Structures are given as structure tokens and as C-alpha cells.
Amino acid sequence: RALDRLGRAGGWGLWGSPTVQVDRVVSEITVACKRLSERRHGMLVVLERETGLQDYVETGVELDSLVVSDLLETIFFPSTALHDGAVIIRGDRIIAAACVLPLAELIVSDTHLGTRHRAAVGITEQTDAIAVVVSEETGIISMARNGRIVRHLDERRLATLLRALLQPRSGGRTKASRWFDDTDRRKAADERQHTA
């Protein structure tokens, strides 16, 4: 199953394509996050990388649109037909909305997180995708990667991380990868101290 998914339309090559403007895509996503966060409207966006997400695309409503903040805000406006589930982005295109994702059984960093956060962690446990979440209850912006979640991101930090993680790899771990891992470790250590 893993080999099949790897072979189905992975998007990592698209991020390195000269036709995909990473900065524009990141800007549109971060603007949408900021506005939705201010209004306490929930959001879940998944950015496809090497592992193809076609299986999950097929669970939702397929679209083919440029990534635009106004469209993301409209999709995630409460009570609209597509606001439940995830938006999947491949390169600079929104390819599906209202997608169903696998849920993580347990999120180590915070057991009080809801379904969107569990889905964000779940998809990043099973694929190399990046997931961005806005909490409906608190407006907190989070990012999940490699089955771990980092919370309390502002617009600037989110944009910095996304740009660094979506740039084509030139070998070795990126600064963003190290920051993400270090932040995750610090938060987990703090929470272990609080529960002890």
C-alpha cells in the first residue's frame, strides 16, 4: 500500500518547479490562517510532498483552483458544504476539499486537541505531508509534520517554516526541520514536567 501511494502523483517535484511560486502559495495560506484565526473559524490544510495523497483526495470533493486566501476562507466558513474535512494542496493548486484523513490515536503534546488536530497528526504519521491547522475553539495556528505538532505559531513563523520546508532539498536537514524538531522536544519536556 505504501509503495502504491508513493507512486501516485507525489507533489514534491512540483514544489521545485519554476512554475510553482512557493512564496505566493505560502503567503496565501498564511493570510487565510491569520484571518480565520481572528474569527475563530477552524481550518485544516494539507500540503502534498513526495508521498501521493490521491487516496485521500478521492474521499473529498475534487477541485482544481489556484491557492487563494479568499477561497480558503470561503471553504472553511462555518456551515458551508465543504468546511468539514481537509483541503489538499498539490503545488500551487487546491486539488480537493472536505477530504477525510486518518486520525492519530494519541497526540503526546496535548490530549485536549480536537479532530482537526488528530487528523493533521494522523496524515503526517502516514505520509511526508505538512498539515496546517487553525483551531475553531482558540484560534491557535499549528503545524504538523512527521507525526508531531507545533502550536502557537504566528503568521511570520508559519510563513518561515512553510517556505523552508517546501523549498527543494539540497541535502541534509534544513534549519526549519531542526527548529521544528527542537521546538517539539522542548514542548514535550515542558508538558512532562507539568504532569509529573
pLDDT digits (tens, 9 = 90+) for 107-127: 665 557 889 999 999 999 999
Q: Are the beta carbons of 165 and 153 closer than 8 angstroms?
A: no
Nearest to 7 by CA among 39, 44, 54, 61: 54
Bridge-partner residues for 96, per DSSP? 62, 88
Rounded average pLDDT over 42-65: 95
Spatial distance between the Cα atoms of 10 and 24, rounded to a whole number of angstroms: 20
Q: How confident is the model at residue 172 (pLDDT cuts 50, 70, 90)?
A: very low
* pLDDT at position 27 over 60: yes
Rounded average pLDDT over 96-116: 82
Residue 105 is predicted with a pLDDT of 78
Spatial distance between the Cα atoms of 119 and 117, rounded to a whole number of angstroms: 5
Spatial distance between the Cα atoms of 128 and 184, rounded to a whole number of angstroms: 17
User: How many helices (H) and strands (E) in the chain?
Assistant: 8, 7
- Extract the C-alpha cell encoding 93: 493548486
Spatial distance between the Cα atoms of 10 and 7, rounded to a whole number of angstroms: 7
* Proportion of the chain above pLDDT 90, given as a percent: 66
Q: Are the beta carbons of 62 and 96 closer than 8 angstroms?
A: yes
Specify burial of residue 97 (Cβ count, 10 A radius: 0-12, 13-18, 19+).
buried
What is the Cα gyration radius of the chain?
16
- Extract the C-alpha cell encoding 87: 483541503
Q: Please give the DSSP secondary-structure letter assigned to residue 133.
A: E
Rounded average pLDDT over 159-186: 68
